[in-house]
Chain A
């Protein structure tokens, strides 16, 4: 028998495969047009809004920042959900999953690689979006609160980690990527708008229904915690071209990051469990 060369004789399961798979996902994102289209749209809409002067209000910059951040949040959710929703179904449809899993790649590594790729791709997109936002904001206010921006981007990114993991779980449960994307969009927006009010709602309900709503309040990942737009819009973090001291409480920031990591890990674990049981028939 011909013997293979040394690099194929041993293998330890590690991050190599995860990084390789993630690299392909990131490459896909920057070769597709989605991100560029959304960035151009954000820039155009913000510039258009910026050129209008309402009642000579000098606080217009706050409305401008509000609109720009809203667009950034929506665009990032669109990128996260659409990118993650198509990953596994597209691999199955084009059949590329078969030569990939026929190599020494575990299914857990496959799921982790897809997650990492989508998450990093979202992070790159966020940096692009917030870079424009920073320029726009600094040109109007002549201030740049770096630390608050960093904390906001980080929390936004952690939030997208949960969203990506949720969508990946959906992609192994639901057959069609479009239905998965739609369901995830509704769930994510639902959590962001109503998730924080469920406990108040539960208090007004009696009996079993109230308990169910309470349980739901504790079970869902509270994505609304990561939306710190008000901090940025109203400069709660201080101002000036210097590192500010009045930023988001670091303890809260670390706690929110751990909370997001736990939820992401749990959702990815569920994805792996479902995917592991899937029979891959050609």
Chain B
């Protein structure tokens, strides 16, 4: 099986800027593989190290030790990001542009030829259902529309790997359902999706495999169906169990 993402002994330490303060260990010896064509859920409570791991994969943060690669290319090389699409959590895209101009800008970065560029923009705008609002300035978009234009920019290069950071965060149930449908459609097209979310019901529905991180360490990794069978409960309870949550009553 092809590994799209490979992480070996990843360790990320943030040095404190304040004198005398100890550095913070964000990720501790993480080993992870994401296989081609699967939807992989990356879970963990806030501060578990999910975003730091994503930051390493995207080249925003350098690892203290260990290595990470995407499609076999070291993540420190900009070329590693050629075949990926990334949707950050809650981004406010250039408000002086409209959706079409925004996508044209990102398409230009991927050197998509002009004729193909317009076709690709049409396809992604239809996919995220923003075709009718393509010439409206982004500043007039609702939160859900902003998130969908974000998804459109992540898909503009027809990526083989999609990295989504809380893609349904802040969306209403209809918006969430739409994003979920898009992820399902991408999976059917054979794309690999790596996403973090706190919506465990959604993760249970769309993911093939999950990894649960806690305090920088990988606690569990496996197929969703196997975990549900092993723990005899839903994914939310599996998660709470693994992170050691005990109800007070």
Contact = CB atoms under 8 A, between A and B. Distances in A.
B58 A102 contact: yes
B59 interface: yes
Given A23-B105, A99-B87, A5 B97 contact: no
B92 A94 contact: yes
Most A CB within 10 A of own CB, among B4, B62, B81, B150: B81
B61 A280 contact: yes
B88 interface: yes
Contact of B110 (A1, A8, A281): A8
B89 interface: yes
A11 B82 CA distance: 8
Q: How would you classify the secondary structure of chain A's contact residues: helix, strand, loop or mixed?
A: loop
Interface stretch (A25-33, A60-68, A236-244): A25-33
A282 B51 contact: yes
B189 interface: yes
Interface string B147-162: 0001001100111100
A1 B51 contact: no
Interface string A123-143: 000000000000000000000
B90 interface: yes
Given A28-B94, A98-B91, A104-B109, A281 B60 contact: yes
Most A CB within 10 A of own CB, among B52, B62, B109: B109
Contact of A281 (B55, B83, B89, B163): B55
B109 A31 contact: no
Interface stretch (B111-119, B125-133, B168-176, B215-223): B111-119
Interface residues of A, number: 35
B236 interface: no
Contacts, number: 129
Interface stretch (A13-21, A75-83, A157-165): A13-21
Q: How would you classify the secondary structure of chain B's contact residues: helix, strand, loop or mixed?
A: loop
A106 interface: yes
Contacts of A95: 88, 90-92
A104 B52 CA distance: 19
A279 interface: yes
A101 B59 contact: yes
A103 B81 contact: yes
Nearest to A91: B94
Given A27-B96, A32-B96, A8 B90 contact: no
A4 B91 contact: no
B37 interface: yes
A2 interface: yes
A104 B36 contact: no
5 contacts: A11-B111, A94-B93, A98-B58, A101-B60, A282-B60
Query: Shortest 8 CB-CB distances between A and B: which pairs?
Result: A102-B86, A280-B60, A2-B190, A1-B36, A94-B92, A95-B91, A20-B108, A31-B96
Given A95-B92, A103-B81, A103-B109, 20 more contacts: A1-B4, A2-B189, A4-B83, A4-B158, A5-B158, A8-B159, A13-B78, A20-B105, A20-B109, A28-B96, A94-B92, A94-B95, A95-B91, A96-B94, A99-B88, A99-B106, A101-B59, A102-B60, A103-B157, A281-B60
Interface of B: 2, 4, 14, 36-37, 51-52, 54-55, 58-62, 78-79, 81-84, 86-97, 101, 105-106, 108-113, 116, 150, 153-154, 157-160, 163, 165, 189-192
